[in-house]
Amino acid sequence: MITRLLSAALVAGFLASVVATGLQLALTSPLILQAETYEGEGTHALAPALDASSAVRLASLIVPAHAHSHAPGEGGHDHGTAEEWQPAPGLQRIAFTGLATLIGGVGYALLLAAVMLALRREPTPRSGLAIGIAGFLAVALAPAIGLPPELPGMGGAPLLLRQSWWLMTVIATGLGLYLIAVRRVPLTILGGLVLIVAPHLAGAPQVAEAASQVPPALAAQFAARSLAIGFVFWALIGLAYGWAWGLFGREADARSHA
């Protein structure tokens, strides 16, 4: 069973990451490149290539985009310290982005598998899609209400505070969805709603609005596209995991009857 679970998770993570990487490069990468030019306005000219932090932003499906921002007090780039490694333009940058997405895809597929196992749900494309959408709601959409995906040059609160709020929101939303969708009695539904709303009532860590050259329309477009890609990513993980689980199960039955 463990072999079947791992195999299905690898297949699901691979398929979802291939599609998500293609969508990222087509839809969000151009916006990041455009935002990099605004980030350098008034200070210094930017090279056309993405730096390491920008390449990671391309894989914002894996770690929320706000987790990649510069630490408090840092500018967009620090030229006073040793130069950080950065993927070369072209194939190396695409490979770096794809690898980060693949690692995250397999990790999330394993998490989805663990959730289905804990819930004692038979993995099928339909049940996998339902859990995948729940994963998108908990990991991507709910945190984005307070901390939307960010482009280069956009200010933010200290990284540790944002990461802590993100983690708290993911856990609270996941537990809330479980109480609402699985337990489904009035008391648990009420408790689930409270858990989902609580992080937003507490409020995401913010800073006073800083001057940014990035147009609001560009930032909104990036956030919308990132969330749309995230939905496709999670839905594909669920669908592919359910399909791969059935496929490997049929192959195991065929070998046992051979």
Domain region containing 228: 2-40+87-152+216-257
Neighbours of 14 (CB within 10 A): 16
Within this chain, do residues 225 and 249 fall inside the same structural domain, yes or no?
Answer: yes
Task: Report yes or no on 67 lying in a domain.
Answer: no
Task: Report yes or no on 139 lying in a domain.
Answer: yes
CA dihedral 17, 19, 24, 25 (to 10 degrees): 110
Task: Report yes or no on 128 lying in a domain.
Answer: yes
Within this chain, do residues 31 and 122 fall inside the same structural domain, yes or no?
Answer: yes
Task: Report yes or no on 68 lying in a domain.
Answer: no
Tens-digit pLDDT profile for the chain (258 aa)? Answer: 888 999 999 999 999 999 999 999 899 988 988 887 876 554 433 333 333 333 344 444 454 544 444 433 344 444 444 455 666 666 777 788 888 889 999 999 999 999 999 999 999 999 999 999 999 999 999 999 999 998 877 777 888 999 999 999 999 999 999 999 999 999 999 999 999 999 999 999 987 665 577 888 999 999 999 999 999 999 999 999 999 999 988 877 677 766
Show the tokens assigned to 168. Answer: 């708290």
Show the tokens assigned to 202. Answer: 């507490």
pLDDT at 130: 96
Cβ atoms of 136 and 239 within 8 Å: the answer is no
DSSP labels, 72-95:
TT--S---SSPPPP-PPTTHHHHH
Main-chain dihedrals φ then ψ at residue 212, nearest 5 degrees: -140, 135
